Amino acid sequence: MSTQAYNFNSEYERAIDAKGRFNLPFRFRRTMPGPEDEKYMITLGPDGALALMPYPVWLESFNRTQAGPAGAEQRRFKRMMSRNSHEVTPDSQGRIAVPSRYLVSAGIDRKVIVIGVGNYMELWAPEALPDVGESPLDVSEDLTNEFFR
């Protein structure tokens, strides 16, 4: 399946249970090709969030970093991404178990906000979620124009 085929959008609040699990929104699970293919990578994401990516998206992103010039910075980045990524698969009830070190790093405790961001999802502590505003006009005019062209 092409990574272009993933289209996660919208926002959901979920409870985190005592084992660090949350229910993946059904609409996001429906995007996956089939239950047997439902494998994700969780990693430290930008802006203080965790990123939850379908495995093919993570692999494509990781491989893309190898396309740049080889050197110490590239090795450090690949090492950092490898060390801070963990494979997760939903259980039969659609729960994702997030290792505690990831929850702690993002400040996620009892609740998590799951936001679809195109081909991946962001996991936020509710109190850490930046206020991006209610209108596309609250962000860069260039980005808004690119989206609505």
pLDDT at 6: 84
Q: Rounded to the nearest 5 degrees, what angle is found at the Cα of 56, between the Cα atoms of 54 and 62?
A: 105
Number of structural domains (the chain) is 1
Predicted structure pTM score: 0.84
CA distance 30 to 9: 12
What is the domain extent for residue 90?
3-147
pLDDT at 26: 87
Give every CB contact of residue 15 below 8 A, 6+ residues apart in sequence: 22, 110, 111
- Give CA 54 to chain center in angstroms: 8
Say how many C-beta atoms besides its own lie within 10 A of residue 86's C-beta: 14
pLDDT at 66: 81
Give every CB contact of residue 49 below 8 A, 6+ residues apart in sequence: 106, 122, 123, 124, 128
- Nearest partner of 96 among 83, 107, 112, judged by Cα: 112
- Check: CB of residue 53 under 8 Å from CB of residue 119: yes
pLDDT by residue, tens only, the chain of 149 residues: 455 678 899 999 999 999 999 999 988 876 555 555 689 999 998 888 999 999 999 999 888 888 878 889 888 888 998 999 999 999 989 999 999 999 999 999 999 999 999 999 999 999 988 765 555 556 677 766 676 66
Q: DSSP state, 92?
A: T
Q: What is the CATH number of the domain that holds 49?
A: 3.40.1550.20
